[in-house]
Chain A
Amino acid sequence: MAYKAKIRVTLRPSILDVQGKAVEHALDNLGYSTVESARIGKYIEVIIDEESVADAERVALEICQKLLANPVMEDYSIELEST
């Protein structure tokens, strides 16, 4: 059974996000004075072929820890759905 893992990787709140800051300033220049902040992260879609949701979840967790996120400065979240 194939599952789609929707993975979001974001910089920890304590880490300065210079890309987000640049976007924030651009939006401010465009006149969006109500936009208070912008932070940029990564969105990664992975198709995982496993027997059960639990197995797919285990794989998704493992790849986040091993490769997709750097635990020193990033957080991640995983959303699984069957395809």
Chain B
Amino acid sequence: MDTVTIGVVVFPGSNCDHDTEYAAASFSNVTTRMLWHKEHDLQGSDVVILPGGFSYGDYLRAGSIAKFSPIMQEVVAFAEKGRPVLGICNGFQVLLECGLLEGALSRNKDKKFICRQMHLRVENNRTMFTSLYGEHEVLTLPVAHGEGNYYAPEKTIESLEEHDQVVFRYCDPFGSVTEEANLNGSVSSIAGIANREKNVLGLMPHPERASDFLLGSNDGSKMFRGLIEYVFR
């Protein structure tokens, strides 16, 4: 294999699709494909990314209509084969709605749309997405969401913790997980989770918007590089 193909799904209302493609394409040996939601073909993707935005205008609930897009049947089948699927922001909401990940996202606790840089602590660096981060490394990534308040029943949270599925938590600049640092009110400060097999990851912060030093942080690019290295292995 000489190139890795990264497919970025485009729903009507996606608005981080090109940023995500830009971040992925900044590495050598990467081919990118934009996958229109009405298609059934993942075009040979080795990695599929569901980008941020407002798919279908967030009508009904964020991600609720996107889960029935034709392309999502292929994404679910791809994920079930153990292949890498990453959902960012609205993409995370879609992964929860379609059942690839557990839980739900409701409105931020203080009613505000949060658009700022936040700190995250890497809780599990033994996944194909996070293998290049150090244990408990503190990252700076931007968030931009109105519905990022992660919720799941207590039993689900216990099971997520038990199987090391909590991958990122909001924290302060020093890596302490505090109530003040948990701006959207997520249960257990959860910012990102994986499925039990760890090949599907969803997170609210935007690694693609922190993949170039010009953007103020380059912390997100290690996630893309980690995925590319994983496919090459």
Q: Chain B 83-96 against A: per-residue CB contact (8 Å), 1 yes, 0 no?
A: 00000000000001
A73 CB within 8 Å of chain B: yes
User: What are the residues of chain B within 8 A of A38 when measuring CB–CB?
Assistant: none
Partner of B107, one of A19, A42, A67, A70: A19
Distance of A27 Cα from B108 Cα, bound (Å): 21
B175 CB within 8 Å of chain A: no
- With contacts A11-B106, A19-B107 taken as known, whether A72 is within 8 angstroms of B152 at the C-beta atoms is yes
Q: Chain A interface residue count: which class?
A: 10 to 19
Check B104 against A67 for contact (C-beta < 8 Å): no
Distance of A15 Cα from B60 Cα, bound (Å): 17
Check B106 against A73 for contact (C-beta < 8 Å): yes
CB distance from A38 to the nearest CB of B (A): 13
Partner of B185, one of A11, A16, A17, A21: A16
Q: Chain B 121-145 against A: per-residue CB contact (8 Å), 1 yes, 0 no?
A: 0000000000000000000000000
- With contacts A15-B106, A16-B106 taken as known, whether A72 is within 8 angstroms of B151 at the C-beta atoms is yes
User: What are the residues of chain A within 8 A of B60 when measuring CB–CB?
Assistant: 42, 67-68
Check B111 against A21 for contact (C-beta < 8 Å): yes
Partner of A15, one of B65, B96, B151: B151
Q: Chain A 9-48 against B: per-residue CB contact (8 Å), 1 yes, 0 no?
A: 0010001111101100000000000000000001000000
Nearest B residue (CB) for A15: B106
B interface residue numbers (CB < 8 A to A): 60-61, 64-65, 68, 96-97, 103-104, 106-111, 149, 151-153, 185
A interface residue numbers (CB < 8 A to B): 11, 15-19, 21-22, 42, 67-68, 70, 72-73
